Amino acid sequence: MSKKLEWVWLVALGLTPLILWILPGDFFDHTGVELCPSKAFFNIECLGCGMTRAVMHLHHLQIEEAMYYNPGVVAVFPGLVILWGVWVWKSMRKLELLPKR
C-alpha cells in the first residue's frame, strides 16, 4: 500500500470512533431498513440481529440498551476494539510513526 493510501487509512481509523461518538446512540435504532437476509426473507432473527445497534449503544456506554438489542455485544465489542487497535498499530508501524524496538 502506498504511503498516501496508508495515511488515508490511518486518518479514517482515527475518525471512525469520533464520528460514531458524535452520532446519537440511537442513530441506527429506527432506520426501517432490514439488512439481515434471515430477517428480511424468513422473518427469523439470527445471532447477529441487532448487533449494529447494540455496538452503537455500548460505544455510548448505554449498557442496558446494548444488552437489549443483542447480549452478544459483550464479546463482539471488545473484539472490534482490539481489531481496531491492531489496524491502527500496524498502520502506524508502516508509516514509521512508532519507535523502533
What band does 40 get if pLDDT is binned at 50, 70 and 90? confident
pLDDT of residue 31: 79
**Mind listing the pLDDT tens digit for each residue in 52-71?**
999 999 999 999 999 999 99
Confidence of residue 100 (pLDDT cuts 50, 70, 90): confident
Dihedral in degrees, nearest 10, Cα atoms 57, 61, 64, 65: -20
pTM of the model: 0.83
Question: What is the band of 80 on the pLDDT scale with cuts at 50, 70, 90?
Answer: very high
Sign of CA dihedral 59, 12, 36, 31: positive
Show Cβ contacts of residue 46 under 8 Å, excluding neighbours closer than 6 positions: 36, 38, 39
Are 12 and 91 in contact by the 8 Å Cβ rule? The answer is: no
